[in-house]
Amino acid sequence: MKPVHIMPILRKYSIFDKMIEGVQIIDKDWKYIYVNDVVAIHGKYNKDELLGYTMMEKYPGIEHTDMFKHIQKCMQEDTPHQMINEFDFPDGSKGYFELRMQPVDEGVLVLSFDVTKQKRAEQMLLDANSILDEKVRLRTVELTAKNNELEQFAYIASHDLQEPLRTVSNYLQIIEEDYTDKLDADVVGYLGAISRATNRMSLLIRVLLDFSRLGRDKQLVRVDCAQLIADLLSDMKSTIEANEAIITTSDMPVLNGYETELRQLFQNLISNAIKFQNKGVKPCIHIEAKPLAGKWWFCISDNGIGIDKIHNGRIFQIFQRLHKIDSYQGSGIGLANCKKIVELHRGEITVESEVGKGSKFIFTIANL
């Protein structure tokens, strides 16, 4: 039976009876004096089981919830409030409701939308995301460990290879110094070839060692790229002059980065731009930079021999060269170093090029 004194209130608010949202009015003594059908469904009670009873009678412990505090505030301060409420039902289940509280003459009117399904979907998405995050984290740890192992292997292998190579070189030197006049010209020729091959192997081992060590002692500092490039060009003065190269730069940023490694990056790219020049054409090199999508974008363009598109991916791999050693000197590790340095700066490096028409080496650097 509905308490008699709330009958006029039920009539007054009957307009809410068929609303798709839940509507309830709680009086200043915390009694339900109006509830519509939806509130009864949300609240898991019949209307008659709620009307005339206090919230605390129907939902023991509710007085300790945030929702209760907000209804109280709404009543006392006459201010509306909106919130998402996690509701613990007496049967142990949980529901989520978006609540809008509005002061009315009798107390507080609460409009409720059941958002349990959305909340559960949101939670499932969050759970799936955190599972994914954890998988990515584990994979990254695994990959980093594998990378470290590989670098360690490259370091030890190249370090240990140096010793026997030194022995071969020493004996070759002794033969050259003491026995050349006692040997056939052919044999001297062969020894020369062995000597050149050991020198090359020694160079490759050295650059492999440097590659494996790259970034090991990196230190994050503020780098003035304009100053860094100016110093670099001053150190490269004799090569630049010997090749009559013209090098121009646009405005350069000051960024957080690994200075020694960045210097090596610019040096490798500028040296290549000078080295791979078109015969009879003076190298013209332009270095530019601009902010792009939260990173710094750099481009080093030249008017050199260019690269066939089919080689674009491979030139950044270790020891991949497109030319015979007698046409262009080099070890084939420069661009692999560049890629590693750019990746240390959470960036990417690519090349745009056309045979005979020059190349553009484009890379990004995150502001670490």
Closest CA to 11 of 20, 2, 99: 2
In whole angstroms, the minimum distance from the beta carbon of 326 to ligand ADP comes to 12
Segment 272 to 301, residues that bind ligand ADP, using CB under 6 A: 272-273, 276
Number of residues that bind ligand ADP (CB under 6 A): 22
Closer CB to ligand ADP, residue 39 or residue 300? Answer: 300
**Considering the rule CB under 6 A, would residue 67 count as an interface residue with ligand ADP?**
no
Closer CB to ligand ADP, residue 43 or residue 306? Answer: 306
Q: Which own/partner pairs from 127-134 qualify as long-range (CB within 8 Å, at least 24 positions apart)? A: none
Closer CB to ligand ADP, residue 285 or residue 289? Answer: 285
**Which secondary structure element, helix H or strand E, spans residue 221, and what is its range?**
strand 220-224
Closest CA to 55 of 81, 85, 31: 31
Segment 303 to 342, residues that bind ligand ADP, using CB under 6 A: 304-307, 315, 320-323, 330-336
In whole angstroms, the minimum distance from the beta carbon of 254 to ligand ADP comes to 26
Query: Three-state SS for 44?
Result: coil
For every residue of 261-313, DSSP letters joined together read HHHHHHHHHHHHHHHTPPTTS--EEEEEEEEETTEEEEEEE--SS---GGGTT
**Considering the rule CB under 6 A, would residue 302 count as an interface residue with ligand ADP?**
yes
Closer CB to ligand ADP, residue 35 or residue 307? Answer: 307
Closer CB to ligand ADP, residue 12 or residue 321? Answer: 321
Structure tokens, 71:
């209804």
**Considering the rule CB under 6 A, would residue 270 count as an interface residue with ligand ADP?**
no
| Neighbouring C-beta atoms of residue 347, cutoff 10 Å | 19
In whole angstroms, the minimum distance from the beta carbon of 274 to ligand ADP comes to 8
Closest CA to 86 of 61, 56, 65: 65
Query: Three-state SS for 357?
Result: coil
User: Residue 8 and residue 360: Cα distance in Å, rounded?
Assistant: 82
In whole angstroms, the minimum distance from the beta carbon of 337 to ligand ADP comes to 7
Closer CB to ligand ADP, residue 45 or residue 316? Answer: 316
In whole angstroms, the minimum distance from the beta carbon of 275 to ligand ADP comes to 6
Q: Which residues contribute to the site for ligand ADP (CB under 6 A)?
A: 268, 272-273, 276, 302, 304-307, 315, 320-323, 330-336, 359
